[in-house]
Homo-oligomer: A and B are copies of this chain.
Amino acid sequence: MTATPAPSPEDTSDDAFLRLDEQICFSLNAASRAFGGVYRVLLKDLGLTYPQYLVMLVLWEHGEQPVKKLGEHLRLDSGTLSPLLKRLETAGLVRRERSARDERSVHVHLTDEGAALRERARVVPRRIAAATGAGLEEIRELRARLDRLTAALDSAALEETPGCD
Contacts and interface: CB of A to CB of B under 8 A. Distances in A.
A138 B13 CA distance: 15
Report which residue of A19, A138, A142 has the largest number of chain B beta carbons within 10 angstroms of its beta carbon: A142
A75 B24 contact: no
| Secondary structure dominating the interface of A | helix
B131 A22 contact: no
A107 B50 CA distance: 34
Interface residues of A, number: 63
Given A122-B7, A132-B149, A153-B132, A28 B35 contact: yes
Contacts of A16: 136
Interface in A135-152: 136, 138-143, 145-147, 149-150, 152
